[in-house]
Amino acid sequence: MKKTEMRNPKTTHIDRMSTAEMLSVIQEENYNAVKAVGECLDVIGKAVDAVTVAMRNGGRLIYVGAGTSGRLGVLDASEACPTYGVPEGTVLGVMAGGVEALYRAGEVEEDSSEYAIRDIKAINLVPSDCVVGISAAGGAEYVLAAVGYAKELGCTTIGLTCNAS
């Protein structure tokens, strides 16, 4: 089982912790997340460079995700225009389950390669695009299928996960 799918032993009895204990555990896990990112800066830099090349060549940045991590990709995409001044449509978020899944879990869609291919085709993917598949555990079928299809088209593809393997 992937680490992101397991119960954190430090929070097994979070409901019985004092507020101070709870906040301390949460803060410790926040530090662990920051350290994990720090350990991956070389790989993250390569991903940023790949996105930059794709966008300089007229491609779009397209996040494809499922679950909470997919929602965060859609949120990031929605901020690209106002925060970075990129033209509308340059950064897109494609979510398993569509807009409705921003408000409710799309479990069926997350496990469907057919939905992924349908959704990625609907945005008229072209080889100059860069597709970033976002899956916390790294195995969401929707994300894997979308990234696989993008790769077949010749797009730059990047995987974003919280698990090392």
Catalytic residues: 79, 110
CA distance 128 to 157: 11
Q: Of 164, 93, 102, 97, which is closest to residue 131 (Cα–Cα)?
A: 93
Type of residue numbered 36 = A
Residue with tokens 């032993």: 9
Which among 105, 79, 82 is positioned nearest to 93, based on CA atoms? 79
CA angle 31, 133, 55 (to 5 degrees): 100
Amino acid at 50: A
Structure tokens, 99: 């807009």
Q: For 155, left (φ over 0), alpha (ψ -120 to 50), or beta?
A: beta
